[in-house]
Structure 1
Amino acid sequence: MRSIHFISGLPRSGSTLLAALLRQNPRFHAGMSGPLAGMVNAMLGEMSDRNEFSMFITHEQRRRVVQGLFENYYGDEFAGEVLFDTSRAWCSKLPALCALFPNLKMIACVRHVSWVIDSLERVVRNNALQPSSIFNFQTGGTVYSRAEGVANGEGMVGHAYNALKEAFYGEHAQHLMLLQYETLVSDPAKAMAAVYEFIGEPPFQHDFDNVHFDADAFDARAGTPGLHTVGRKVVARTRSTLLPPDVFRRFENDAFWLNAQANPRGVRVV
């Protein structure tokens, strides 16, 4: 199989922008979050002991079946010598992925959690007449219930955050690099140089003034137009938060990756 790496981390933290930049390189294929993580979870569940016939499935068969998901999903439909698959779930699957692809690298996109919550709330408010799949198309709620919903352990942000910490402090952390959204948008050349060094690929001259990524159809179906919109030019934009002060303060100290003393495995943070 071709080389494969993974993009994971927190939502609203630059993974789509990173994919849009990577795909400028004709040797690479990258995209927004896809179905493979869910397919892997489903297949592992079906091969577990909840299946009365699991006694007929050996460890080697299990490995081949799961690896086959990747090989057959990508097949010949996707060009590129190097594949990047994106999902917030991949951080929680790092041990399994390392068993399948020992040479993998995982780039986890991170951002101050307060601004992640702010960004999600902004998308919801920009589509005030169209309920979002993020909240199961429910029409009620407030900024407080929405923040609580995405931040709890099973929520979009909370689950990704916990998975990120699991990978960061886990035994396979040498496969992990954290890419800060703030770095990616303020110094994209530095960010991309670090990515190429991390994955061991020769540098490529990216065009940060002409970035293209189209996920309008997906976003519209999810009831969140603009969720994966990428600006034509990579630029850091300053703005005021629209979150109430107490909601914003609740998450302002959650950027654990900024504490060098709390990085026992020496994960690179760019």
Structure 2
Amino acid sequence: MTSSIPSRLLVTGARGQLGTEVVAAATAAGLTYAAHGSRELDITDVDAVTATVADFGRAADEAGQSAVLINAAAYTAVDAAESDRDAAYAVNATGPQNLARACAACGVRLIHVSTDYVFPGDGRRPYEIDDPTGPRSVYGASKLAGEQAVLASLAGAQVVRTAWVWGTTGANFVKTMAALAASRPTVDVVDDQRGSPTYAADLAAGLLELAGSDVPGGVLHATNAGETTWYEFARAIFAELGEDPGRVHPTTSDKFLRPAPRPAYSVLSGAAWAAAGLNPLRPWRVALADAMARSADAFRAR
């Protein structure tokens, strides 16, 4: 693998948890980029997408620059998707297809972010990129449809699955635990769902590395290394907050019934990522400690 930094970047979903970090990483790297949140660019609007990507590709061509689009836009309300199927499919399937077709027409490279929810969640070892999929929720099914649309519409497109993403922007598990640590004497957290907590800033750095590489198109997995349960993750968060981890009590998923089923096992194998010559993301526990040390105020309840 050869690696360089892409000279021009387009980010969709740029105001979300991951997109914000991609933009921050692009800024730090000195990239020329355009960043669009859903208010600036509705990826379900085919005409708007076609025009935006065409303008982006044209500007890159005129400047003699490489052009990469990272799509971090997604409908992520997992439970709401069960009763809002059309909206979930519009953003998670039709939108990515619009982007892929526009990129194909303009010669722009596309990196599309997907999820562990495309798998059934009944595995016993980390899911490889070519393991059979089998989503059990509308959210997961819509994301799988998006993957398929992207790969079918654009030769060389890359799909990057990730899991359990958290960061300084938006609502996430770390912030929820911090709020509960400040407001409740004890917290019950499920101990029968296993995955790999992934720090959005680390994932963003990995996506930029991929964007600057010559890795062939296809599917990759990128999460922070290691695995844990939500219960163990919560205990680690309490510890980093200086709180007693013993205040976190284990429970089971049947005590927290939700409209959409959660995967019991969501660990994704990073073997293909490493085999492509990309740097593996650091261990999740190291990332948590570092993020808390650097950005404690972003996670603490106010």
Normalised by the size of structure 1, how large is the TM-score?
0.38
User: Which structure: greater strand fraction?
Assistant: 2
Normalised by the size of structure 2, how large is the TM-score?
0.35
